[in-house]
């Protein structure tokens, strides 16, 4: 399968190489199992190069004979998007990842690609040049957009939690295992994960492929169904009987 992995780099702290090594060990199991992977990591633009370097070096040590590269990517936003001009700079939705074709070609050569969450840019009219803009692009939506542009089979969000959990008015939160986008939208979720869950559900609805959310230290286990939350398309309805 072709997998786009969005890794929550809030789990990484500066100088914490143990966390990076654990994440890399989890990620390395995917190409070792025969999957193509693109890793998208977020974080401030000024730290993305350092984070990418740390992940590449850790993966390179685990994947002997496999090429692992860090790629600087851009997240193109709409020049006339009103959010671009907001002083509080909320998360902006990307419209394209200009390097998507390059990523596709690298995957075809068997390369493991590590991408930053995207440097925000707009394309200037007349010159077609890319110009940076002082906004923050939603890294989850950047990963989802790249997954669409690469025809990925699964969009995988790796976090510090084992599952998405449904909130409960009484008792402990309930882990969600397998559900459709409609089922997910009807589930009461903690505020902190609502946006990510919506991105995952939107990807499944748009593409008919799979999305999942699960622990950063067990990526392969999510695919095997031993942990994590899987969002899958709704079953096709049967034709009505004559």
Q: What is the pLDDT of residues 189-221, one digit of tens each?
A: 999 999 999 999 999 999 999 999 999 999 999
Distances (CA, A) of 18 to 12, 39, 54, 145, 156: 9, 18, 11, 30, 22
d(CA 163, CA 174) in angstroms, rounded, equals 9
CA count, 13 A, side-chain hemisphere, 193: 26
For the cut 50, the answer to whether the pLDDT of residue 48 exceeds it is: yes
Tell me the three state secondary structure of residue 40. strand
N- to C-terminal Cα distance for the chain? 39
d(CA 23, CA 18) in angstroms, rounded, equals 9
**219: nearest Cα among 27, 87, 6, 3:** 27
For the cut 50, the answer to whether the pLDDT of residue 238 exceeds it is: no
Q: What's the CATH class of domain 7-139?
A: alpha beta
Structure tokens at 56: 């590449």
Q: Region 119-145: what's the mean pLDDT?
A: 89
d(CA 189, CA 134) in angstroms, rounded, equals 31
Handedness of CA 98, 213, 218, 17 (dihedral sign): positive
Average pLDDT, the chain: 90
Looking at residue 232, the DSSP 8-state letter turns out to be -
pLDDT of residue 127: 81
Distances (CA, A) of 45 to 42, 52, 116, 130: 8, 11, 8, 16
Q: What's the CATH class of domain 153-234?
A: alpha beta
Domain 7-139 matches domain 153-234 at the CATH topology level? yes
57 Ramachandran zone, left/alpha/beta (phi>0; psi -120 to 50): alpha
**152: nearest Cα among 196, 210, 200:** 210
Q: What percent of the chain lies above the pLDDT cut of 70?
A: 93
Is the separation of the CB atoms in 107 and 113 below 8 Å?
A: yes
pLDDT of residue 99: 96
In the chain, domain spans: 7-139, 153-234
């Amino acid at each position: 399968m072709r997998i786009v992995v969005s890794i929550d780099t809030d789990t990484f702290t500066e100088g914490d190489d143990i966390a990076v090594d654990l994440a890399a060990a989890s990620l390395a199991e995917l190409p070792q199992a025969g999957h193509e992977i693109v890793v998208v990591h977020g974080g401030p633009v000024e730290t993305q190069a350092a984070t990418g370097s740390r992940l590449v070096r850790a993966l390179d040590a685990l994947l002997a004979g496999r090429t692992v590269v860090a790629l600087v990517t851009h997240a193109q936003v709409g020049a006339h998007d009103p959010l671009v001009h907001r002083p509080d700079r909320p998360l902006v939705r990307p419209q394209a990842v200009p390097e998507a074709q390059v990523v596709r070609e690298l995957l075809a050569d068997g390369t493991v690609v590590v991408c930053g969450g995207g440097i925000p840019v707009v394309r200037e009219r007349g010159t077609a040049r890319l110009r940076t803009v002082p906004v923050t692009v939603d890294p989850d939506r950047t990963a989802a957009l790249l997954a669409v542009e690469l025809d990925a089979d699964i969009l995988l969000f790796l976090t510090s939690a084992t599952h998405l959990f449904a909130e409960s008015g009484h008792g402990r939160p309930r882990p969600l295992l397998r559900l459709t986008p409609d089922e997910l939208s009807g589930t009461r979720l903690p505020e902190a994960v609502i946006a990510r869950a919506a991105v995952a559900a939107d990807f499944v609805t748009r593409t008919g492929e799979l999305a999942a959310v699960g622990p950063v230290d067990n990526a392969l286990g999510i695919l095997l169904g031993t942990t994590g939350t899987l969002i899958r398309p709704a079953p096709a309805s049967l034709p009505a009987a004559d």
